[in-house]
Amino acid sequence: MAAIGGGAGASPGAAVSRGDRARLAVKLVVGWVALLWLLEIADVLLGNALDRFGVVPRVPAELADVVPASFIHFGFAHVAANTVPLLVLGFLAALGGIRRFLAVVALIVVADGLGVWLISPSGVNTAGVSGVIFGLFGFLLVAGFVERRPLGVLVAVLITAVWGSSILAGLAPTQTGVSWQGHLIGLLSGVAAAFLLARRGRAAQ
């Protein structure tokens, strides 16, 4: 979310700071997406050997893959489908502050991975960053209202208009090859992060 509003009286130094934050947000999110593509290229070259880092529910040894699973994908089409929403939602979330963004992502990654491990069907290998995307959507959807920021509310309206139907479709249990459990847990984790990491008053600027 774009928590960068400072009013008409903002100083030139503050404006530069916001610009620097935006540039850092771009670098961070683009770098993240580039890493996902590089990992998938490596996975293909290694004969899909990295797919083993997905999460298989209720297998104790698989707890070690709770975090890595969000960085692994099952083919280039899988990465491609996640690229644009991750770039946009990640950038908007990172505008609210890089440290908070990293905390939000860490919370979503861990909660989503653990949730998949707990409630997904046995024997199913789950991986991909879509749970994090759903989490970022949930975070941006709620944070503006929690922090009472008009710009944040506008962001919530815009992302709902663009991705709302896709989010609902991704939560449908009837889809094959899609972890609706991971999507649901990611979404709820993002909403929780919006409350846990809320900024109010001057701290939200």
Average pLDDT over residues 176-205: 86
The total domain count for the chain is: 1
pTM: 0.90
Task: Return the SS3 of 23.
Answer: helix
The structure tokens listed for 7 are 């009013």
Instruction: Report if residue 98 sits inside a domain.
Output: yes
**CATH of residue 196:** 1.20.1540.10
Is residue 168 situated within a structural domain? yes
Express as a percent the part of the chain with pLDDT over 70: 89
4 falls within a domain: no
Report the alpha-carbon distance of residue 32 to residue 114 in Å, rounded. 21
Q: Is 20 helix (H, G, I), strand (E, B) or coil?
A: helix
Give the model confidence (pLDDT) of 88-106 as tens digits.
999 999 999 999 999 999 9
Average pLDDT over residues 65-89: 98
Determine the Cα–Cα distance for residues 107 and 18; give it in Å rounded to an integer.
25
Distance between CA atoms of 162 and 160, rounded to whole angstroms? Answer: 5
**Average model confidence (pLDDT) across the chain:** 91
- pLDDT digits over 5-55, tens only? 333 344 444 444 788 999 999 999 999 999 999 999 999 999 999 999 999
Place of tokens 């939200």: 204
Residues spanned by the domain of 67? 12-204
Q: 144 lies in a domain?
A: yes
In a domain, 5, yes or no: no
Residue 185: pLDDT band with limits 50, 70, 90: very high
d(CA 37, CA 28): 15
Segment (H or E) for 158: helix 150-170
Q: Could you tell me how far CA 49 lies from the centroid of its own chain?
A: 25
In a domain, 7, yes or no: no
Do residues 92 and 25 make contact, with C-beta atoms less than 8 angstroms apart? no
**Burial class, 128, CB count within 10 angstroms (exposed 0-12 / middle 13-18 / buried 19+):** buried
Q: For the residues 66-80, what does the mean pLDDT come to?
A: 98
In a domain, residue 1? The reply is: no
Neighbours of 159 (CB within 10 A): 20
Tens-digit pLDDT profile for residues 147-167: 999 999 999 999 999 999 999
Going by pLDDT thresholds of 50, 70 and 90, the confidence category of residue 200 is: low
One-letter amino acid for residue 1 of the chain:
M
Q: Is 99 exposed, middle or buried (0-12, 13-18, 19+ CB in 10 A)?
A: exposed
DSSP codes joined into one string, 12-72: HHHHHHHHHHHHHHHHHHHHHHHHHHHHHHHHHHTTSGGGGGSB-TT-GGGGGGTTGGGG-
Answer whether residue 6 is part of any domain: no
Assign 199 a pLDDT band (cuts: 50, 70, 90). confident
Packing angle between helix 130-146 and helix 180-196, nearest 10 degrees? 30
pLDDT at 11: 43
Cα–Cα distance measured from residue 3 to residue 108, given in angstroms and rounded to the nearest whole number: 20
Q: Give pLDDT tens digits for 164-176.
A: 999 999 999 998 8
